[in-house]
Structure 1
Amino acid sequence: MFGKAGDHNPGGTAIRKNTTPIQMLRNDDVGLDSKTRSFCLSSSHSSSPIMPQQTIPACPHLPQVTRQLRITHAREHRTACREAYYIACLELAQSLWQNKRPAQAILQLDKAMMANIPANSTTLDTHPIPYRAMLWFMINTPTGSFVGNPVRHFQHLASRMNLKQPQPELRTARAWACLHLAESVLSHEDYPRDQRQLNKENLEIPNRYAVKAALIERSPHQLEKTWFELAMSLAV
């Protein structure tokens, strides 16, 4: 059963407000900006026939995997960027998560949310847009695992979206949605917004109601607003 903020998962410690896990980025550290994302996504890791013994429980909102997947697992589907790419990113996120690499797992969920899935696709019947998985990662990140500053990461992702790629407005709305999920379960003191960017660029972050309106307007999936609202309700 999906846990609320503060619930404990076997093998993991919930990241709760006013809690500072070891090795997390602090206020003056750089979040998961483009350079960090490039480093994480370009890292090469060999595959293993089975999962290593020292793994953590799987996320119940993602496909189950039995092997440690290569970081290039989704690459062959990237050009099409459709259902196969979406599922491959979810699978890789699960593999990275179980191998105690939550920051990279979050990046794979970012990539899954950028897939161009048509309205009539049945893929989302089984694996909806992964708002609940994103929230689950942030709640259940084990103490000592590197997760960066998800709030700052989503702020940068939303405000620096590549407008030349397909459906940039929808991708931006999803990134803002994830920022609100992060802020609902993480300490504002330990995981702040990038105030310097806000001031320098006169950037205004849309509230969750504006985000829901954008999802309704931009998403081809009628249930997307509901998926986001469900995740938010579990975070409170």
Structure 2
Amino acid sequence: MKLFLTALTKIPCLPPSTVWRGITKNISEEFQPSTVMTLWPFSSCTVTLPVLENNIYLGTTGNRTLLSIEVINGRNIRDHSHFQTEDETLLPPGTRMIVQSQFSPASGLHVIHLKQIIPKEVLLESPFEGVQLFPKIKDSWYRKKRFAISFGTLVTLLIGSIVIGSAFGSKFGNKDTNSTERRCSTPYIRVSGTYRTGNTPVSAVLDDFNDASNIDNVVTTQQDNEIALLFGNSEGIFHGQ
């Protein structure tokens, strides 16, 4: 038995698929929906339904049961079987199943839908160390993609927060340490005058542009598409540049 199991487990598992098993009697009473069952014998199945027309497996008349099984660790033994045209799939002992449903499409024919599940407890010891009785379950592409999107979004937000925080921190830090408060000593001098700038002036900005502690004036003009810079003196008089 150990030698047979060793040889069987060396055959790669089939991808999750549906196989069929025929029984020449009615066993539907033993497979009630939602029932969890364990198949202890080796279970010979096939992936091609025409094989089951043989009276040895299922036949076409009389009481018979057709098992439709969703398997996850079946082994295809066609290359090692005498009946190479039957595309035989073998399930090992201790195969845990859950009954999904059953129906009777014709007189005497009962179809039972089974789904294989991985048992929580060990039902069959590995014949040697390192063997995998069940294939590794891979995550679906959606789960991987969703994780990648979530992780990528988190990284982007983190980097953005660091950059914005650094920019604001630098700005306010420089303002506190390097800025010097400046106050005009002659803000209001009662001096009137007329100053010529370009055509159609539209805006003016008053500030100390040359660090002389006097009010200067920058005037923008619309028609000439230029600016006029007027520097002020301590007497409140502007001189053009």
Larger Rg: 2
Structure number having the greater strand percentage: 2
Which structure's relative contact order is higher, taking Cα pairs within 8 Å and 6+ residues apart? 1
> Which range, TM-score by smaller chain?
under 0.3
| Structure showing the higher helix proportion among its residues | 1
User: What is the TM-score when the length of structure 1 is the normalising length?
Assistant: 0.23
